[in-house]
Structure 1
Amino acid sequence: MTKRLAVVGCGQWGQNHVRTLREIGALAAICDADPARAAPLAERFAVPARALDDVLADRAIDGLVLAMPPRLHGPTARRAFAAGKDVLIEKPIGLDPADAEETARAAAEHGRLLMVGHVLRFHPVFERLDAAVREGAVGEVRHIASTRLGLGRFLGMDVVWDLAPHDLSLVLHVAGAAPERIETLRRTVLSNETDAADIAMTFPGGVTAEIHVSRISPYRDRRFSVVGTEGMITFDDLAPEGRKLALYAHQVRRADAGFTFRHADPEYLETEPGLPLDRELRHFLHCIETRESPRTGAAEAVETVRILAAASPRRAD
């Protein structure tokens, strides 16, 4: 029997969750602090709009998806854990490491699942990249680079908090460890918050990573690359289907006279079809059913908030 979920928060991402869970057949209710926003969505998807207290008290509801302002994620999730619900929280799960750690502790104390909505981890192209890297397609991993540029939203939110969580999740997964060193270059250009930033990280064993985020770029760029001793691989999210994942057998070798280089044309790898949000929510439902730990669980959620706090002097609202 499909588990029943309620979506709390009917903003842009909340509506995406509502639509996808309705298609899966797992949507039980929606909640929003503004009844006027919840009502048309409830009518459109033929699902009741209910108060949060009612949802928490309903034993027929197995879990919640929280898509609220980040400052509300922690307190709401902790209430849900105490009520016996499993929770998927949209990124970030909190606005400071202490709050994130408190939420993770609450989940553990009540024996409930905590999953963070790092949806790109469920992108089939990233999953194929991850498999190729682990199979040794690029040799030993030495560097990871992620770029997320565009003309973005100006909602009073620091670009580091708004955009970097996506990339941090991918970097942390490939690196397989928490960074030992974090350096950030931030630039305020068109607002009173950070509009562009470069985050550099060093991991145990000497693996390095760089994340470039900007909401003031005149062009869009969404690429994630892994550089290894035997080659390089790139996930280009804006490339056409069939060319999103490119493996380059480039090599750099130290020689007596300096270095030698081998340049190779890209080999485009096949990937499975599928929508990341659909795959993410099905994974959450699977974890509720089996009690398996989510792939994007509490430890990753807390570490992401820790890095965001270290990389930005200002918090999201």
Structure 2
Amino acid sequence: MKPRIAVLGCGYWGSNHIRTLKSLDALSAVSDANRPRAEGFAIEQECRAIDPDRLFDDPDIDAIVMALPPQFHAEMAIRAVRGGKDVLVEKPIALTVKDAERAVAEARAQGRIFMVGHVLRFHPAFEKLKELIDAGELGDVRYIHSHRLGLGKFHTESDALWDLAPHDLSMILAITGEPPVEVRGEGAALLDHLSDFAHVHMRFANGIRSHLFTSRLNPYRERRLTVVGNKAMAVFDDVEPWPRKLAVYRHSVWRDSGHWAFTAEEPTYIPVQEAMPLTRELQHFIDCIVNRSEPRTNGTEAIEVLRILTEGSVRHERPETAAFAAGATRVG
């Protein structure tokens, strides 16, 4: 039998969870502090609307997907697992490492599934990239860099780093297989006190280096993860159409008479299955509930992501005046 799953939080991303779970025949209820909003989705998706205070003790709910503002995630997850529910918590799972550790520890103590919504780990192009790396197609991985740039969305609680970087950090950690031993970060705020640009540089004990760049004030969209190995390089570019999302470059670099020489090859585009990452993520959550298995994106990894976010936020530079605040200056 499929688990009976409720979605707590009927905002933009919560609505995607609602519709996807309905398509998987696993949606049992919706819940939101805004009762009319929850009732609207309940009518649309032919399910129940439950008040948040009653959701955690409802005996007809097996699991809860949480798509709330991140400051509420930890406490709501703790209430859920104490009520016997498995949980999938959207990123970030908390605003502090301490709160995240409390939530994950409570899930373990209660014997509940704790999964985190790092949805790009379930993108078919990333899954194929990981297969190529594990098979040695790129050789030894030496460097990873990720760029996630665009215009908006602007949140009152999360800056560009905390809002955009968790997905990329999850992918980087999946490739490196270990947390970094050194993290250096720098951010810049143009609109208010929250960073609109952020750089994070990481060093790993196995010799891999990595950096990521996020921006919510960029004139163009970029969603690109690049992995550099000593045999080949690969690029997962989610802006490209499906036939071009995953490219492998088999460039050669060598020393010739004391000088560096190279040949640049055209990319080979690797076929990947067309599928929605969110559908694959939620199906994985369902499978973990049914089989009582550890999620691919578990609480331990999410805590490591939070540690990097926290360390990467240490250096924060802000102009004396917010040049683009209150509509004083318009970008573009």
Global fold match (TM > 0.5): yes
Matches within 5 A, 1:42-191: 42-156=42-156, 157-191=158-192
Output the CA distance in 2 between the equivalents of 1:110 and 1:53: 20
> 1:172, CA displacement in angstroms?
0.7
Aligned to 1:15: 15
Residue deviations 1:51-91 (CA, integer Å, cap 9, x gap): 22332222221100000111111001101111111100000
The letter of the residue matching 1:115 is M
**Contact 2:226 / 2:236 at 8 angstroms: preserved in 1?**
yes
Aligned to 2:24: 24
Where do 5+ consecutive residues of structure 2 fail to align?
Answer: 317-332
Deviates more, 1:30-39 or 1:95-104: 30-39
**Contact 1:158 / 1:314 at 8 angstroms: preserved in 2?**
no
Aligned-residue RMSD, C-alpha: 1.4
Output the CA distance in 2 between the equivalents of 1:98 and 1:253: 48
Aligned to 1:4: 4
**Contact 1:229 / 1:251 at 8 angstroms: preserved in 2?**
no
The letter of the residue matching 2:67 is A
**Contact 2:147 / 2:223 at 8 angstroms: preserved in 1?**
yes
TM superposition score normalised by structure 2:
0.92
The letter of the residue matching 2:202 is M
**Contact 1:63 / 1:87 at 8 angstroms: preserved in 2?**
yes
**Contact 1:31 / 1:50 at 8 angstroms: preserved in 2?**
yes
Output the CA distance in 2 between the equivalents of 1:251 and 1:11: 48
The letter of the residue matching 1:139 is G
The letter of the residue matching 1:299 is T
Q: SS where residue 143 of structure 1 aligns? A: strand
Q: SS where residue 205 of structure 1 aligns? A: coil
**Once the two structures are aligned, what percentage of the paired residues are identical?**
45
Deviates more, 1:87-96 or 1:261-270: 261-270
Q: SS where residue 204 of structure 1 aligns? A: coil
Output the CA distance in 2 between the equivalents of 1:256 and 1:136: 30
> 1:256, CA displacement in angstroms?
4.6
Output the CA distance in 2 between the equivalents of 1:66 and 1:284: 13
The letter of the residue matching 1:286 is D
The letter of the residue matching 1:226 is V
The letter of the residue matching 2:142 is R
Aligned to 2:283: 282
Q: SS where residue 103 of structure 2 aligns? A: helix
Q: SS where residue 206 of structure 1 aligns? A: coil
Residue deviations 1:100-156 (CA, integer Å, cap 9, x gap): 111111011111110000000000011011101111111100000100011011222
Where do 5+ consecutive residues of structure 1 fail to align?
Answer: none
Q: SS where residue 265 of structure 1 aligns? A: coil
Q: SS where residue 206 of structure 2 aligns? A: helix
Aligned to 2:305: 304
Output the CA distance in 2 between the equivalents of 1:202 and 1:254: 26
State the number of aligned residues.
315
**Contact 2:188 / 2:198 at 8 angstroms: preserved in 1?**
yes
4+ residue stretches of structure 1 with deviation over 4 A?
none
Q: SS where residue 294 of structure 2 aligns? A: coil
